[in-house]
């Protein structure tokens, strides 16, 4: 970080690197009904044995701000309109590589490999997918904001943002490398944002973007949020999103083992999302009703091929939250009820999550500790399946997963900026429950998994 009187700069680097063996799921879809303590994913008759996926993602970025009329030095300055210019340059690189050497490498493709990959097989020796993308992105923005005094009943704060107006321009250059050649893409995007808070009880947030040139020309996204605060009663939040977007590069074109498997010209997808959330903090209650409508939705069918449905696809959701607290003990509950008009997108009709934990300060009130358990439940549903050669989920023929319950136990603590957590997942197997947990058809999650992690924010 670089900071001066009118200038701030932030340098960021992120990376993610994964190599994993792909087993293609289990042959017997009913195996989750007889999962025992001696079983695991590698001993349950996998559908493929030689496949592996490698994924890499790296990003370097530098973001800097220049305050055009200086920093705020007093309360009077805080209420004066401020102007700011910003620029971010980023270099992004990603790689996806999948490879499977078939058990039989002569002219006769082995039956297990042929049955798993079906129409994707083009070479008796194996199957390979390779794609890299390197992107340079520049974002320029101009913004203005003004603070306002808060009412006297908020002594802990003196000012609050009254408005924020921002316009910007983004340019993206992408170089995509596949086995049959390279392709370059450009995108030029106009961006805007306007937030307005007329008083303590009303807040309006809007934003939009429009692709003016390039591969995604004509794409747009408009989003708005309206917040009402009824002080002693609760609050209401209304959100709306409307967007039009191009299908992904893989949905339009797929090159596998030096062969073009498909070369489509799919229409753009039009998506509309509406939601309203009523919150009553004193009761620990929150309810959200949401409606999603998609036109020209793209999905992958049982042949692993992208398809676009002409019929509108709608999703209706009701999400209920109810939290309780007695002393240091907390019980947090979330229940989701949802219905989908078409079978090409699959979700359980009922999903719930329940967290029971104790939380408090220990060791002379220097450490915040939390210990408890998470339970998850979903009704029977037809789940999607995963094809590692494309890296995509698809809609299989069947795919039914029965009603299931899972339980995790966890411990976490925080000391200033240091955080630690430990979790043991899928504990029900310890108490005689024979079923494995599934979120994707044919892919059982291991019975018990131990996870831990640390986070430490270092400040100078």
Q: Residues 290-304: pLDDT tens digits?
A: 999 999 999 999 999
Question: Do the Cβ atoms of 380 and 401 come closer than 8 Å?
Answer: yes
Classified as helix, coil or strand, 117 is: helix
**168: nearest Cα among 143, 186, 145:** 143
> Domain residues for 87?
1-223
Residue written as tokens 């696809």? 313
Could you tell me if residue 392 is inside a domain? no
Percent of the chain's residues with pLDDT above 70: 86
Of all helices (H) and strands (E), which one includes residue 11? strand 7-22
Could you tell me if residue 425 is inside a domain? no
pLDDT bin (cut points 50, 70, 90) of residue 43 is: low
- φ/ψ of 215, rounded to 5, equals -60, -40
pLDDT bin (cut points 50, 70, 90) of residue 390 is: very high
Could you tell me if residue 110 is inside a domain? yes
Predicted pLDDT at 6: 87
Could you tell me if residue 54 is inside a domain? yes
Q: In the predicted model, what is the mean pLDDT of residues 337-362?
A: 95
Mean pLDDT of the chain: 88
Residue 85 reports pLDDT greater than 90: yes
The DSSP annotation for 135-196 comes to: EEEEEEEEEEEEEEEPPTT-TT-SEEEEEEEEEEEEEEEEEEEETTEEEEEEEEEEEEEEEE
Distances (CA, A) of 90 to 135, 189, 320, 407: 8, 15, 40, 41
Could you tell me if residue 218 is inside a domain? yes
**255: nearest Cα among 425, 439, 123, 423:** 123
Could you tell me if residue 283 is inside a domain? no
pLDDT tens figures, 262-287: 999 999 999 999 999 999 999 999 99
Could you tell me if residue 20 is inside a domain? yes
Please tell me the total count of domains within the chain. Answer: 1
Three-point CA angle 158, 160, 163, nearest 5°: 150
**243: nearest Cα among 266, 268, 217, 277:** 268
pLDDT bin (cut points 50, 70, 90) of residue 411 is: very high
Predicted pLDDT at 29: 65
Burial readout 352-388 (b: 16 or more C-beta within 10 A, e: otherwise): bbbbebeeeeeeeeeeebbebebbbbbeebbbbbbbb
Round to whole Å and give the CA distance between 56 and 315.
34
pTM score of the predicted model: 0.87
Predicted pLDDT at 154: 56
**91: nearest Cα among 24, 14, 18:** 14
Predicted pLDDT at 417: 87
pLDDT bin (cut points 50, 70, 90) of residue 42 is: very low
Could you tell me if residue 285 is inside a domain? no
**435: nearest Cα among 423, 422, 425, 444:** 444
Q: In the predicted model, what is the mean pLDDT of residues 168-182?
A: 94
Round to whole Å and give the CA distance between 144 and 130.
45
**351: nearest Cα among 339, 334, 336:** 336
Percent of the chain's residues with pLDDT above 90: 64
pLDDT bin (cut points 50, 70, 90) of residue 3 is: low
Q: In the predicted model, what is the mean pLDDT of residues 397-407?
A: 85
Predicted pLDDT at 41: 47
| More confident position, 396 or 45 | 396
| Residues contacting residue 134 through CB under 8 Å, at least 6 positions apart | 91, 92, 93, 174, 175
Residue 360 reports pLDDT greater than 70: yes
């Amino acid at each position: 970080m670089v900071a001066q009187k009118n200038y701030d700069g932030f340098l960021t680097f992120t990376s993610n690197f994964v190599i994993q063996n792909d087993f293609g799921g289990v042959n017997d879809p009913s195996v989750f009904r007889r999962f025992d303590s001696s079983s695991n994913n590698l001993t349950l008759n996998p559908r493929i044995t030689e496949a592996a996926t490698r994924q890499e993602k790296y990003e370097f970025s530098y973001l800097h701000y220049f305050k055009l009329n200086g920093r705020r030095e007093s309360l009077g300055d805080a209420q004066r309109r401020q102007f700011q210019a910003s620029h971010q340059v980023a270099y992004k690189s990603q790689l996806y590589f999948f490879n499977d050497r078939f058990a039989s490498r002569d002219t006769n493709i082995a039956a297990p490999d042929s049955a798993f990959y079906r129409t994707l097989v083009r070479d008796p020796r194996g199957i390979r997918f390779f794609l890299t993308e390197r992107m340079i992105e520049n974002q320029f923005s101009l913004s203005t904001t003004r603070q306002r005094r808060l009412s006297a009943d908020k002594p802990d704060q003196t000012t609050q943002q009254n408005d924020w107006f921002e316009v910007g321009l983004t340019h993206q250059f992408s170089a995509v490398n596949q086995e049959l050649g390279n392709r370059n893409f450009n995108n030029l995007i106009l961006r805007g944002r306007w937030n307005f808070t007329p008083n303590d009880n009303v807040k309006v947030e809007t934003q939009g973007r429009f692709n003016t040139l390039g591969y995604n020309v004509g794409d747009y996204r408009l989003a708005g949020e309206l917040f009402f605060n009824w002080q002693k009663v609760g609050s209401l939040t209304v959100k709306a999103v409307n967007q039009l977007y191009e299908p992904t590069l893989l949905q339009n074109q797929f090159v596998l083992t030096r062969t073009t498997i498909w070369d489509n010209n799919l229409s753009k997808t039009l998506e509309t999302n509406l939601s309203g959330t009523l919150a009553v903090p004193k009761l620990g209650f929150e309810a959200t009703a949401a409606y999603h409508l998609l036109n020209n939705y793209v999905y992958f069918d049982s042949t692993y091929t992208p398809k676009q449905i002409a019929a509108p696809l709608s999703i209706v959701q009701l999400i209920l939250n109810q939290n309780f607290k007695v002393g240091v003990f907390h019980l947090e509950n979330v229940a989701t009820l949802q219905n989908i008009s078409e079978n090409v997108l699959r979700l359980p009709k009922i999903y719930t999550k329940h967290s029971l934990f104790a939380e408090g300060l220990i060791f002379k009130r220097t450490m915040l500790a939390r210990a408890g358990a998470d339970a998850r439940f979903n009704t029977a549903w037809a789940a999607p399946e995963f094809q590692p050669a494309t890296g995509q989920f698809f809609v299989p023929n069947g795919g039914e997963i029965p009603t299931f319950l899972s339980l995790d136990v966890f411990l976490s603590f925080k000391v200033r900026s240091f955080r630690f957590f430990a979790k043991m997942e899928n504990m029900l197997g310890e108490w005689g429950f024979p079923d494995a947990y599934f979120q994707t058809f044919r892919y059982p999650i291991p019975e018990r998994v131990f996870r831990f992690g640390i986070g430490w924010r270092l400040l100078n």
